[in-house]
Amino acid sequence: MGEINLVYFDLETQRSANDVGGWAHKDRMGMSVGVTYSTREKRYRIYAEEDAEELINEILAADLVIGYNHIHFDYEVLQGYSIWEIGGQARSLDLMVDLEARLGHRPKLEAVASACLGAGKTADGIDAIKWWRQGEIMKIAEYCCFDVKVTRQVHEYGVEHGFVKYTDRNGREQEVQVDWGIAADAGRQAAGCLGAGVTFLPSSP
């Protein structure tokens, strides 16, 4: 039996919920950039919109796809590129969904990452949409890749310690027990995000 392949995943969109008539139409938001990190291949992949089918194939082939709000957001955005029900077929661990079940509310990735790692997100989805409109694809790729790296490190922190920390709405640091121990140590050998170990997939002809 081969090494378990954990795939960490995030994407950014071309349009906001307001642009497409509300959150019920995520499949119309369009992917600008998608990023994965595979623990088996020990590298990041950056996908353009025209490579969405290849991204979906990687997700469906993974032993486990790990993200932060990817089940109810990213998968639904990708659904615009597939006839298959991605969320129903992919094996997933959504860290936000798990934390919501434990806490009764949804902590932002920034609140968890800053408490656990001492560093949070570098931008947000609105910035990524602005960059898309300005044609600054590399900025989107850097931001999305960093988010995948942060998600991976938060997951690994939970695996190692059996809990994660987060900053609550009053600015106080809290802890919550988690049970994320799914062979996550394979991801620890990751190279820097935009350096060795990154593969840009060529655009489709």
pTM (2 decimals)? 0.86
pLDDT in tens, 36-47: 999 999 999 999
**Does CATH place domain 6-200 in 3.30.420.10?**
yes
pLDDT above 90 coverage of the chain, percent: 79
Write down the pLDDT at residue 9: 97
pLDDT at residue 83 tops 80? yes
Amino acid identity of residue 111, one-letter, is A
pLDDT at residue 196 tops 50? no
- Average pLDDT of the residues in 108-134: 86
Write down the pLDDT at residue 84: 86
Confidence of residue 122 (pLDDT cuts 50, 70, 90): low
Confidence of residue 120 (pLDDT cuts 50, 70, 90): low
Burial of residue 22, with CB atoms counted within 10 A of its CB: 0-12 exposed, 13-18 middle, 19 or more buried: exposed
pLDDT in tens, 68-77: 999 999 999 9
Write down the pLDDT at residue 121: 63
Strands (E), the chain: 6-13, 31-38, 43-48, 64-67, 92-94, 163-167, 173-177, 198-200
Instruction: Give the angle subtended at the CA of 182 by the CAs of 179 and 187, to the nearest 5°.
Output: 120
pLDDT in tens, 27-36: 999 999 999 9
pLDDT at residue 92 tops 60? yes
Write down the pLDDT at residue 187: 35
- Cα 33 to Cα 138: distance, rounded to the nearest angstrom: 9
pLDDT in tens, 143-194: 999 999 999 999 999 999 999 999 998 999 999 999 998 643 333 333 334 4
Confidence of residue 205 (pLDDT cuts 50, 70, 90): very low
- Cα 177 to Cα 111: distance, rounded to the nearest angstrom: 16
Write down the pLDDT at residue 185: 37
- Average pLDDT of the residues in 115-134: 84
